[in-house]
Chain A
Amino acid sequence: MTITEDPAPKTTAKPRRARYLLDSERLLGPALVTPAVVYLVLVVAYPLVLAFLYAFSDVTTGSQSLHFVGFQTFIAAIKDPVFLTSLTNTVIFTAISQILVVVLSTMLAFVLTTNFRGRWFVRFLILMPWTTPVALSAVIWLWMLDSIFSPFDWFAQVLGIVPPGGHIVFLGQSGLAMGSVIALQTWRILPLATVIMMAGLSAIPADVSDAAEVDGAGFWRRLFGITLPLLSPVMTVALLFGIVFTFTDMAVVYVLTGGGPGNATQVLASWAFLKGINGGDLGVGAADALFMFPVLLGLAAVMLRLASRAEVG
């Protein structure tokens, strides 16, 4: 081998002072954090402070004057019989929809992580509900569950559940209305949960599943002994997200049933909106909404704990 004395080619780049400005942590850190802080203050902190302020006052949509009234708004909120119905409904709505989401998203994640033809298309279809605006999907479901034009009626007629020409009044009977609201919420939350579960499944090392197979475990033992335990941290995250989104949701109820029939599907969020905005009693409305606060605070604490544990582990 011969080594020639060939000088390296010259370039004309000049060092620029400004280019290194962002290398300074004193500048870069605040610069990156500021947008998030501004966003949080405007969209989260300010309304939250306002809600606390309103909840202890006699403010209405009609008057801007604030008078401190102590816990009167909370007492008024609890005394309203609809409040208890809303609270119970919120818990039922959240619990049943999230149980369904956990079971269904696990099953879907298993199916979607296997190899089959047209997998991307099926994944696309399943992700669609997530990308659809809630108002639009609720309107679609409103039609699907219509008391006269519902396509489900046709299936029910064919299957002999209702007599020919008969109808199911989905949104007009309290049990069916609650079922419909839960079904729509499950349908909405399922895609996100499925994506999270798919990520969790693909994070389980292939060697570990292979080892279980060689160790003699059949499908069920692998599922309950290895896969699900390894999936459980991710499942917890998906579940926490689902609970937060569902517990605080009012869009589904508001668009689909408006809380009816009667107040059979009323949830805390929709009730607070009804009371505070439509009814004009901002103080009681804020108090209603604040009853969600301890639950959300608890969930947030659990989430932060999980996140910090994931960082350490």
Chain B
Amino acid sequence: MAVVETKSLRKEFGAAAAVDGIDLVTGEGEYLVLLGPSGCGKTTLLRLIAGLEQPSDGDVIIGGQVVTHLPPRARQIAMVFQSYALYPHKTVFANIAFPLAAAGVPRDQRPDKVRWAAGRLGLESLLDRRPRQLSGGERQRVALARALVREPQVFLLDEPLSNLDAKLRSSAREDLKEFQQRVGVTTIYVTHDQVEAMGLGDRIAVLNEGKIQQIGTPDEIYHHPANTFVATFVGSPPMNLLTREGTLLGFRPEQFLPVSVTGERPGQVIFEFSVIRVENLGSDRYVYGHLPEVDPGARVIAKLPSTVTTPVAAGDRVPFAVDGADLRYFDQKTGELAAGTPKVKP
């Protein structure tokens, strides 16, 4: 177990900076998720930590040691790639044994170690197979076993679930979380999928354009976004943003409910919601519309759970309410969370 730290880490490809001055410190044994859209620099950041890329500037520190200019094999890390990158010409056994051979573990000690790692991931019966004879989920477990076998200080995972089908993905997500808690190794996990990020991370670092937008627990990221990027990138549907008196007003779609449901309560803000369209998704209804009294140009979505049966139809004008405590304010120019909380009148 070790703490991973990056200090004003920068990586330029040509004129563009893929990673633009990132300062990051993990906790010991922490599950840190790097979340961001494609091209935000999250994979580059992970490759910099792994040593597969050389930074243009800044340092990588693992376990208190500056490893910026050390090759990957000197960093005590293990990485699982999006494609799993199994060695196609080797059996599962040889794949898992490869890091041991590279680390100079004597030949007679390798089988026990391989069986131990394979056992933790339920691969005992597959040791003689080759990667092309395995299913996607099995390949992913082989990649994990290969990462685990050396007992690294740090796990680096690059979108390891994105090649699995939706059903397998949710069970693999559970397995991954349980696995990390069992081995307790510091893990940095890259994903563009917010559901994975929210479900897996002790903390989430949201990246965009090579910069960290916010680091925090899933709860902080979701309920207290640091800027409009985080507010709209995390959450599905994203946070509603309205312009009002020179600031941006934000609230989550599921916190925007008909007054007939919430009842009149102190501290709540009531808007007249002009409904344009209703989508019934089974577990939820998405109600699309706008608030003519506040910002007629901005589209607003309300997410009503199926337990809310209030009839809402296109063309209706329905009073909807948000709890005052759930309103967020952002600077209109910078998009950053506005300092202080201006008084809101309905």
Contacts and interface: CB of A to CB of B under 8 A. Distances in A.
Given A210-B52, A217-B102, A230 B72 contact: no
Chain A interface mostly: helix
Nearest to A211: B85
A20 B180 CA distance: 60
Contacts of A156: none
B62 to A, nearest CB: 13
A218 B156 CA distance: 20
Given A205-B85, A221-B102, A211 B79 contact: yes
Contacts of B85: 205, 207-208, 210-211
Interface string B57-90: 0000000000000011100011101110111110
A214 B157 CA distance: 12
Contacts of A225: 98, 101
Contacts of A216: 72-73, 99, 102-103, 150
Interface string A199-214: 0000001011011111
Interface string A211-234: 111111110010001100110000
B50 interface: yes
Nearest to B132: A313
Interface in B129-185: 132, 146, 150, 156
Nearest to A226: B87
Contacts of A213: 51-52, 71-73
Contacts of B86: 208, 211
Given A212-B98, A226-B87, A217 B73 contact: yes
A214 B50 contact: yes
Contact of A230 (B82, B88, B98): B88
Interface string B194-229: 000000000000000000000000000000000000
Given A207-B83, A216-B99, 9 more contacts: A207-B85, A208-B88, A211-B81, A211-B87, A213-B72, A214-B50, A215-B102, A216-B103, A217-B102
Interface of B: 47, 50-52, 71-73, 77-79, 81-83, 85-89, 98-99, 101-103, 132, 146, 150, 156
Interface of A: 205, 207-208, 210-218, 221, 225-226, 229-230, 313
* A-B interface, 3 closest residue pairs, ranked by CB to CB distance from nearest: A216-B102, A207-B85, A211-B85
